[in-house]
Amino acid sequence: MLTRIDHIGIACFDLDKTVDFYRATYGFEVFHTEVNEEQGVREAMLRINGTDDGGGSYLQLLEPVREDSAVGKWLAKNGEGVHHIAFGTADVDADSEDIRSRGVRVLYDEPRRGSMDSRITFLHPKDCHGVLTELVTAAASPTSGNSSATTSH
């Protein structure tokens, strides 16, 4: 069962400048950063609040590190803005299979490792009214800080 909005992914051309905007405008601070070589992005997670299920709600700012990445191609076509929405779940495997059984295309056969050691998968935007949707199971105890791991967002 989906339990919360885990994060909203925002594609940007300049991660540092975008972080500065969210810090100066809303007072949000960076909770975690990492480079995702597989997805071709540099990201910053800005924590908005904690939730009853032990997870949090975040803004995920995504800057492509190469033009041929999915986010790089998306930025070239659409410009900066909301890239995807992610819903938290206690069991990404079970929920993605349940959603798949309802006729929605799940983009990964098996969930992958995501930010802060989470487990993630994506749902096809054409099956979700134009919205790229991510399902996220948070790690047992997400850690803040910087990382240069090869992960998925």
Residues forming the active site = 7, 43, 60, 84, 134
Burial 59-91 (b: 16+ CB within 10 A, else e): bbbbbbbeeebbbbebbeeeeeeebbebbbbee
Length of the chain: 153
The answer to whether the CB of 1 falls within 8 A of the CB of 89 is: yes
The token pair at 93 is 């495997």
Residue 61 CA to chain centroid, in angstroms? 8
- Residue whose C-alpha is closest to residue 153's, from 64, 49, 53: 64
